[in-house]
Amino acid sequence: MHAEISFIGLFLEASVLVKLVMLTLLALSIASWAVILQRNKLLSSARVKALRFEDTFWSGVDLNRLYKELIARGNTISGLEAMFVAGFKEYTRLSKVNSKSPEAVMDGTSRAMRVSLSREMEKLEHHLPLLATIGSTSPYIGLFGTVWGIMNSFIALGAVENATLAMVAPGIAEALIATAMGLFAAIPAVIGYNRFSTQVEKLEGSYANFMEEFSNILQRQAYSEKEAV
């Protein structure tokens, strides 16, 4: 391939606007891959931590001891651990002041866990809208660069009496590179967004199921404490 129709050569010969389009798409592609790698690591860690905590929770461990162990870890808890801590903390606090009203205790406990669930979902969904934006806009940005490049090529050809394929090819190739870069940025972003959205939905379902099961356990405990009083 001749130097003048190499990728670098076409980029250097492109108009300023097409160069800006290509550089923008390159930046979007880098940002997309950075988000994909970061989200993949975070969601994988969240799944592992959720499974590990559920194994511990259902192993018959004393809830008070589990709560104290998690509190001792400070800000490192997340996911189901954070929901458990929020729910158990609120349950313990309300039980001291509303021991004769299990309904009030459970209402407050459920609210605390729903707030914790909402916060955890915000963490899991963070940056996913960026992937969706890159996936939906990159092809159009690339197409804009292509249209602009082809338009300039035909304008230049209009000033030449005898146009040849050798004169047309570099300009067309330069323009089409913008579309290719747009697709290169968009395809991984769309695949990553769909994959991570599915994973987030599954984690949300797992978190919601745990919240319901934990609420049932605390509700039974609340009523047994009321009867003991």
The residue ranking higher by pLDDT, 229 or 187, is 187
For the chain, state the CA radius of gyration: 28
> What percentage of the chain carries pLDDT values higher than 70?
86
Residue 163 is predicted with a pLDDT of 60
Quick check: 36 and 188 in contact, CB under 8 A?
yes
pLDDT digits (tens, 9 = 90+) for 9-67: 667 777 788 889 889 999 999 999 999 999 999 999 999 999 999 999 999 888 999 99
pLDDT band at 162; cut points 50, 70, 90: low
For residue 42, count other CB atoms closer than 10 A to its CB: 16
User: pTM of the full predicted structure?
Assistant: 0.83
Both tokens of 161, joined, read 């009496």
Task: Reduce the secondary structure of 69-87 to three states and give it as a string.
Answer: HHHHCHHHCCCHHHHHHHH
Distance separating alpha carbons of residues 139 and 24, to the nearest angstrom: 12
Domains of the chain, residue spans: 3-228
